Amino acid sequence: MSGALLSVQRIGERMIRGSCRRFPADVAADRYREWSAELSAILDDASLRSPFLRALRALAFCAGIARTTRQLSRPARAGARSGKNGQWRTGAPRTRPASMAVRVAVGLAAWLAVAGLVIAMTRLTAGPHPDVWPLLLVVPLGIGFDAYCLRDIVRAADVRYLRKWAWALVCLAQMPLGGILYLAIGRIDPAQPAPPGTPS
Amino acid sequence: MKLTAPLERVLRVLVADPAAPHYGYDLMKAARLPSGTLYPMLARLQQEGLVDSQWEDQRPDAGGRPPRKYYRLTAEGARVARLELARAATTAGGTRHVAAWPVPGAQGSTL
């Protein structure tokens, strides 16, 4: 195996190990052994001539393993939580979701507050500024988006690849990008449909 | 057990050679399924006692490769799988089109 494939193997093993963290320790060790062995079988697959294809398939395999562990650990987690409130990590009783009108009103109020703050800040620092309007749109949107991501991280039962605090740090450090990255790869969608082949 | 198209493909591969060891990656290739579909399915089949898994014996010619886990239908699993596949073949439409899917090794099966 060439050096590049070895590093793919190392990356893949890390991904698998991270995925297996969802299981209890003994299951995790067993599954890690199984899947890392399959990973090296993929990277050694002589029927695929191109090493690039093998690497691609190996990474796709690891992504599938992440999905697998999420699906397999879900029933266990749901059992540990209580009833319909299972979606919240703390198991605290969930209040009824606010109606759309209330949400829009709260959003508008928050936007006005942040906009006022932005106007005040620019007045203080740069005097009356004619070009403050783009900021009024972008800053509240950025803050809102970050707040959404942070709320999602705090409430998620589990996140992928990194620890929760690490994802929160990423979101805060790279204002729009970190949040986008989290939503794209770190987020585990609780509303994901049941896997195919689910016994009915 | 509801016979979905991916499940049908996996069962076809397993039934084609019930005694042979089926490794995860080989099953993925033969049934043309991604790992994210195959492994949850295998876990469920195993939970229901239709499939069992075993670690392969470390061969001396393995060259330091780690031992792999393989899957096989149990006796009950083989019975249920044949029944389900036969039922799928007799019902018109539904998963019928999957029968045309080229599954290596499944040609000789009488299903």
> Each residue of A96-114: pLDDT tens digit?
556 777 888 888 888 888 8
A116 within a domain of the structure (yes/no): yes
Cα gap A164→B83, rounded to integer Å: 47
Same domain, A61 and A135: no
Read off φ and ψ for residue B23, nearest 5 degrees. -80, 155
Dmax (CA) for chain A in angstroms is 69
Domain membership flag for residue A69: yes
Query: Are A132 and A58 in a shared domain?
Result: no
Distance between CA A199 and CA A124 in Å, rounded? 64
Q: Is residue A90 part of a domain?
A: no
User: End of a domain among A15, A45, A79?
Assistant: A79
Domain boundary among A79, A111, A131: A79
Same domain, A111 and A46: no
Boundary of a domain, candidates A48, A79, A110: A79
Residue B35 to residue A65, Cβ atoms within 8 A: yes
Which of B2, B48, B66 lies at the smallest CB-CB distance from A37? B66
- Alpha-carbon distances of A140 from A1, A108, A124, B50, rounded to whole Å: 51, 10, 19, 55
Tell me which of B4, B39, B54, B59 to substitute to probe the interface with A (most A C-beta atoms closer than 10 Å).
Answer: B39
Sequence spans of domains, chain B: 5-94
Share of chain B above pLDDT 70, in %: 77
Prediction pTM value:
0.56
Return d(Cα A98, Cα B107) in angstroms, integer: 58
Q: Do B39 and A60 touch (CB under 8 A)?
A: no
Mean pLDDT by 10 residues, chain B (111 residues): 85 92 94 92 93 86 82 94 90 53 51 47
Q: How many domains does chain A have?
A: 2
pLDDT single digits (tens) A155-178: 777 788 888 888 888 888 887 788
Q: Is residue A86 part of a domain?
A: no
Instruction: Using DSSP bridges, classify how beta strands B22-23 and B69-73 pair: parallel, antiparallel or unpaired.
Output: antiparallel
Residue A84 lies in a domain: no
Residues of A in contact with B6 (CB under 8 A): 196-197
Interface of B with A in 44-63 (CB under 8 A): 44, 48
User: Are residues A74 and A105 both part of a single domain?
Assistant: no
pLDDT, position A99: 73
Q: Encode chain A (200 residues) as per-residue pLDDT tens digits.
A: 678 889 999 999 999 999 998 888 899 999 999 999 999 999 998 898 888 899 999 999 999 999 999 888 876 544 444 444 434 344 334 445 567 778 888 888 888 888 888 778 777 777 665 677 777 778 878 888 888 888 888 877 778 888 888 888 888 888 778 888 888 888 877 555 444 443 43
A13 lies within 8 A of chain B by CB: no
Instruction: Provide the CA A70 distance to its chain's centre, in angstroms.
Output: 12
Indicate if A73 and A124 belong to the same structural domain: no
* Chain B residues lying within 8 Å of A71, measured CB to CB: 36, 40
What confidence score (pLDDT) does residue B103 get?
Answer: 53
Q: Which of B1, B34, B69 sits opposite A199 (nearest CB)?
A: B1
Query: B47 exposed, middle or buried (CB, 10 Å; 0-12, 13-18, 19+)?
Result: exposed
Tell whether A108 and A173 lie within a shared domain. Answer: yes
How much is the ipTM here?
A: 0.78
Structural domain of residue A38, as residue ranges?
3-79
Q: Is residue A91 in some structural domain?
A: no
Are B36 and A34 a contacting pair at CB < 8 A? no
The amino acid that residue A126 corresponds to is A
Strand, helix or coil at A128? coil
Average pLDDT of chain A, as a whole number: 78
Find the residue in A nearest to B29 (Cα).
A42
Q: How far, in Å, CA of B46 to CA of B88, rounded?
A: 22
**Which residue in chain B is spatially nearest to A36 when comparing CA positions?**
B66
Residue A194 lies in a domain: no
pLDDT at A156: 76
Chains A–B, number of C-beta pairs less than 8 Å apart: 85
Q: Do A71 and A104 share a domain, yes or no?
A: no
A32 touching B (Cβ < 8 Å): no
Asked if B36 and A196 come within 8 Å (Cβ–Cβ), the reply is no
Minimal-distance CA residue of chain A relative to B2: A199
- Domain B5-94: assigned CATH number: 1.10.10.10
What value, to the nearest 5°, has the Cα angle with vertex A189 and ends A139 and A157? 90
- Amino acid making up residue A135: L
SS3 sequence of chain B:
CCCCHHHHHHHHHHHHCCCCCEEHHHHHHHHCCCHHHHHHHHHHHHHCCCEEEEECCCCHHHCCCCCCEEEEECHHHHHHHHHHHHHHHHCCCCCHHHHHCCCCCCCCCCC
CB A49 within 8 A of CB A30: no
